[in-house]
Amino acid sequence: MTTDLRPAVPEAPALPSARGPLSALVLDLLSAPPGTAPGRTAGTPDAWGEDLQLALYLCYELHYQGFDRVDPAWEWDPGLLALRARLEGAFLAALREAVGDPGPLPQVVADLLVEPSDGTGPSYHLLAHGERWQAREYVVHRSLYHLKEADPQLWAVPRLPHPAKAALMTVQYDEYGSGRPERAHALLFAQMMADLGLDTRYGHYLDTVPAPALAVVNLMSLFGLHRALRGAAVGQFAAVEITSPPGAARLARALERFGASPAGTLFYREHVVADAVHEQLVRRTVLDPLVAGDPALAADIAFGIAATGTVEDRLAGHLLDAWGRGRSSLRAPLADGPPT
């Protein structure tokens, strides 16, 4: 008896609806032949707004699975890249303004190792007094990234020297199942979605998630796709790997409280164990040798860590504010959720 381990080819998602003139422009372009993109647009977009974040996500997704009926040649279209650069400039400027001076890298990393004492984040809420519809919404927000985990961070690998390159790949090997395709984290996340009665198709909820969730994913792509931001990409990776085990443990217990099966909690249970090891690997075999070889990267890594905290805090604030008012945190509520 043999087991067919051929990976399923993900179906490219359909293009979403526009959320303003910038995203409408990008959508119109992607529906046309390549070579028609203007390099500039009028106006100053809101870097945190729905319109810019969706437009930027559309541009970035061309480097991943793309979209149904969109010519793959758009990925490297010079006009669209010029437009994307303007969107990226606005987003990056907003991130730097929000972060300010993150402080020296050793202190920034040390702060990551301290679990916040206020207990006010989404994982605390879901465990203590959350409802099942809120857990389903939380998973929908996270689906745009976790169904392609950890693809954005792979962009950093060819931009790093050894031994940091090899150490980062050691962690990434676990993200993709450690040689067992069925244990890839993206597939474990899809199992959890199915257990919660959610659609597991890649990119299915793009029309549903708001700007704060898009910004979390866009941050990863922004850092990963630019060699000049390789330090920030490592910082983003470090922030996630160092801080995720306690939150993952809370989320696994919350899902159990909502009646999830073992398959429905495996994704977070896996991260409790794996990321506890990854935290040590990232600090000692990625950050330390990387900064030792190129001390100038320390400030960029610190910025990446702080910027990750900024976008995560914005998403957490959006979730808790909506749920606190008894409203859906999504642009369109799920079947069992309250109105937006």
On whether both 34 and 128 belong to a single domain, the answer is no
CB 278 within 8 A of CB 174: yes
Same-domain status, 120 and 197 = yes
Q: Could you tell me the pTM of the whole model?
A: 0.95
> Same structural domain for residues 137 and 224?
yes
CATH number at residue 167: 1.20.910.10
Domain boundary (99, 118, 135) is at 99
Task: Let me know if residue 14 belongs to a domain.
Answer: no
Q: Could you report the per-residue pLDDT of 71-118, keeping only the tens digit for each?
A: 999 999 999 999 999 999 999 999 999 999 999 999 999 999 888 777
Decide if 159 is inside a domain: yes
Q: How many domains does the chain have?
A: 2
Indicate whether 197 and 221 sit together in one domain: yes
Q: What is the pLDDT of residue 4?
A: 41
Residues of the chain above pLDDT 90, percent: 84
Structure tokens at 128: 């203590």
Report residue 36's pLDDT band, with 50, 70 and 90 as the boundaries: confident
Dist. CA 164–CA 142, nearest whole Å: 28
Q: Give 16's contacts (C-beta < 8 A, 6+ positions apart).
A: 27, 54, 58, 206, 207
pLDDT of residue 3: 38
Peptide bond into 163 cis (omega under 30): yes
The structure tokens 């279209």 sit at: 77
pLDDT tens digits along 158-193? 999 999 999 999 999 999 999 999 999 999 999 999
Alpha-helical runs (H) found in the chain? 21-30, 50-61, 78-99, 105-112, 122-129, 132-146, 151-154, 164-175, 185-195, 211-224, 230-257, 262-281, 288-293, 297-324
CA 198 centroid distance within chain: 19
Mean pLDDT, the chain, integer: 93
Determine the structural domain holding residue 47 and report its residue range. Answer: 21-99
Residue 50 included in any domain:
yes
